Amino acid sequence: MDMKNLHAHEPEFWFRQAEELDRAAHLIWQACETDFIAMSKLPVGSEVRRVNLGGTFWLNAGLAIENLLKGSIIQREPSLVVDGRINKSLKIHDLTKLARLADTELSPVEGFYLWVATECIIWAGRYPSSTNAKKTKPPVFSEADFLAYESLYKRFAPQRPSTASGTVYQRLI
């Protein structure tokens, strides 16, 4: 069995990966807040570079949600991972489809933010433009994005006892 897929059948490893990505998303959000404050002090019309972390935030936040959903799906249907191989139905990044696979009802607002996150996972958080000429970047990034993400993460995160020090790592070699 491939070492990288050794734990693919264990939901807990998906949930731990989600926690790490959530932490990265929070660190990026802190940088966004710092940038927003700095921008608010500039004269109107000033050109600002290096203040485009919305896509990068949603790339990490979206992958955190993706891991939560996939962990939940695998927890419910362990047969979707056989010999470390993940079933084709889970080899997607479309968060609305994954939410449906997880039997999760979505409000229109939640669906919108999952679409934003999906676009950022697929391309907007990684590339300067889409490979599909019909696609444009998701709307302007704001604090509402962070609050929507927080709400979605809390909704999809399994109820588990937390450790005071966060993720516990096990030395494998």
Higher local confidence (pLDDT), 33 or 163: 33
Cβ within 8 Å of residue 63, ≥6 positions away: 21, 121
In a domain, 127, yes or no: yes
Whether residue 169 is contained in a domain is answered as no
d(CA 140, CA 3): 40
Structure letter (DSSP) for residue 90: G
Give domain status of residue 115, yes or no.
yes
162 located within any domain: no
- Is residue 29, in this structure, part of any structural domain at all? yes
Can you count the helices (H) and strands (E) in the chain? 5, 2
For 102, the token pair is: 């997880």
Please state the domain count of the chain: 1
pTM here?
A: 0.84
pLDDT greater than 90 at residue 52: no
Helix (H) or strand (E) holding 8: none
Band of pLDDT at residue 164, cut at 50, 70 and 90: very low
Q: Residue 122 domain-assigned?
A: yes
pLDDT tens per residue across span 3-31 = 456 788 899 999 999 999 999 999 999 99
pLDDT digits (tens, 9 = 90+) for 89-126: 999 999 999 999 999 999 999 999 999 999 989 888 88
User: Residue 76's domain spans which residues?
Assistant: 3-156
Statement: residue 61 has pLDDT above 90: yes
